Amino acid sequence: MKYKDYYKILGVERTAGADAIKKAYRRLAHKFHPDISKEKNAKEAFQEIGEAYETLKDPEKRAAYDELGSFRPGQDFRPPPEWGEAHGEGRGVFDDMDLADLFASLSGGRHRGHAHGGAFPIPGQDFEVAAQITLEQAARGTEFEVNLAVPEAGADGFMRRVPRTFTARIAKGAAEGQRLRLPGKGGKGLNGGRDGDLYLIIHLLPHPLFRASGHDLYIDLPLAPWEAALGATVEVPTLHGPVHLKVQPGTRSGQKLRLARRGLPNPREGIGDLYAVVQIVLPAELSEQERELLRQMKAQSTFDPRSHFTETAA
Amino acid sequence: MNIEITEGLWLDEFGELSLAEMEAWSGLTEAELQQLVECDALSPVTTIEPAAGRSISAPRFSAQCLVLARAASRLRDDFDLDANGLAVALRLLDRIRELEAELHHARAQRPR
């Protein structure tokens, strides 16, 4: 079993009082709580902080933790053999447990007693897992493999992490941030408590061409100045293959040209749209002939793109 | 190792949940959910008038509300928030999510 230094995790001395421990937990919870934190590793950090606090806030658990002794974080150690024997189990009982499982099992016999004794029902743990999928997968629907380590009470009454693998079907039309609830796919309930649920949080991976907003898609549409000025028919990629888009003469930069029903499917409201956002671009290098044509245009045009400056100032 | 294919429920504006489902799935009590409704921190899609002999109405919620209710349940447990603190936190969280959605939409429209 790997040792975790719960005092170090909370940033307190081993002699810290209950108030200092609570204060340290609160401070760290404000920083790392996944519902309010923007830290990258918030979920993992808060899990560790919660685990440490769960043990150190309870005088019985804290005394048991202190009894383990002090090791380096991550160092292998064995709980005193009499802990297993006290529960009528052999020396190997702790072999496939981690520290959190150990204290969940030993905390006043809470889980163990319930697993065997039939006290009040305890619901299983809910899990939230990020499902990163591509836009193409979101458009077509996909399957996502979920691997969880779910705490379950074994026949010996001790809690252990049990690997669970299953495939979740994500129907077509998933959008960024949407959540899919998979009932009963979390931790096992105890004493008739309901099994926990799994929540998949959809994250769309960045696409080299398209940007999604809800079920609508956006793509940059670079146009040469003469295409924007004179109009053109251009090929635009979509998730289902290229289409031809007619660009009206006098199209301006930043204009959004809508391609109806070329976005992501929305299972409840049809299909989103694709918007081509016009960008008027110049060649990286101009030939002498191109320069000459532009000079001629400059000489003959009365167009003043900044006329509104003087109109506003006046 | 058990491999199975499983279907789920989208927590979006189209799904609808009863008060009992919200209670069972969020971890909040019926009283806490009612308080959040009274503070406008959770908005039910429909409110059924109390049936004869029942003291409370039975609101139905958009499935999206479950996401907020679950966050409320976690914040209550992890920060010992009371109903008022919870309502304020939820309204702020909801506002942040709205702003993040607007920001995401604006970024999607902005050329790279």
Considering only the beta carbons, identify the residue of A26, A126, A182 that sits closest to B6. A182
Burial class (CB in 10 A: 0-12, 13-18, 19+), B101: middle
Test B24 with A194 for CB contact under 8 angstroms.
yes
Which of A211, A217, A264, A281 is best to mutate for the B interface (most B CBs within 10 A)?
A: A211
- Nearest chain B Cα to A171, which residue? B7
Domain total of chain A = 1
Report CA Rg, chain A: 31
Cβ pair A151, A125 in contact under 8 A: yes
H or E, element range at B6: strand B5-6
- Out of B4, B10, B111, closest to residue A180 by CB: B10
Cross-chain Cβ contact A218/B4 below 8 Å: no
- Specify if A306 maps to a domain: yes
Q: Under a CB-based contact definition with an 8 Å cutoff, are residues B85 and B72 in contact?
A: no
Whether residue A229 is contained in a domain is answered as yes
Give which of A23, A246, A160, A273 is closest to B79, Cα–Cα. Answer: A23
The closest CB to that of B7, out of A169, A211, A279, belongs to: A169
- A214: three-class secondary structure by DSSP: coil
Q: Which chain B residue is nearest to residue A53, measuring alpha carbons? A: B78
Nearest to A100 by CA among A26, A47, A41: A47
Of B2, B8, B78, the CB nearest to A33: B78
Alpha-carbon distance values, A157 to A49, A152, A154 (Å): 26, 9, 5
Domain interval for residue A268? 210-313
Of B82, B73, B74, B80, the closest CA to residue A22 belongs to B80
Asked if A220 lies within 8 A of B111 by C-beta distance, the reply is yes
Q: Minimal Cα distance from B10: which residue of A?
A: A180
CATH code at A219? 2.60.260.20
Residues of B in contact with A171 (CB under 8 A): 10
Q: Which helix (H) or strand (E) holds B10?
A: strand B9-10
Specify whether the CB–CB gap between A33 and A79 falls below 8 A. no
For A144, the enclosing helix (H) or strand (E) is: strand A142-153
Is residue A21 assigned to a domain? Answer: no
Q: Structural domain boundaries of chain B?
A: 16-109
Nearest C-alpha in B relative to A122: B27
CB–CB contact B111 A143 (8 Å): no
For residue B31, the SS3 value is helix
Tokens standing for A308?
């509104």
Note the ipTM here. 0.87
pLDDT tens track, chain A, 314 positions: 889 999 999 999 999 999 999 999 999 999 999 999 989 899 999 999 999 999 999 999 999 999 888 888 888 888 877 776 666 555 566 767 788 888 877 654 444 444 444 578 888 899 999 999 999 999 999 999 999 998 888 777 778 888 999 899 999 989 999 999 999 999 988 888 889 999 999 999 999 999 999 999 999 999 999 999 999 999 999 999 999 999 999 999 999 999 999 999 988 778 999 999 999 999 999 999 999 999 999 999 999 999 989 877 76
**Around Cβ B56, how many Cβ atoms within 10 Å?**
11
CB contact under 8 A, B109 and A197: no
Query: Which CATH entry fits the domain spanning B16-109: 1.10.1660.10, 1.10.10.10, 3.30.300.30, 1.10.3720.10?
Result: 1.10.1660.10
Distance CA A69, CA A50 (A): 21
Q: What share of chain A is helix, strand, coil (3-state, %, to 5)?
A: 30, 25, 40
How close is the nearest chain A Cα to the Cα of B87, in Å? 14
Cβ–Cβ of B8/A50 closer than 8 Å? no
**Which are the contacts of A247, defined by CB distance < 8 A and separation ≥ 6?**
A223, A227, A228, A231, A232, A233, A234, A257, A278
Q: Is residue A62 part of a domain?
A: no
Is residue A199 one of the residues assigned to a domain? Answer: no
Determine, yes or no, domain membership for A191: no
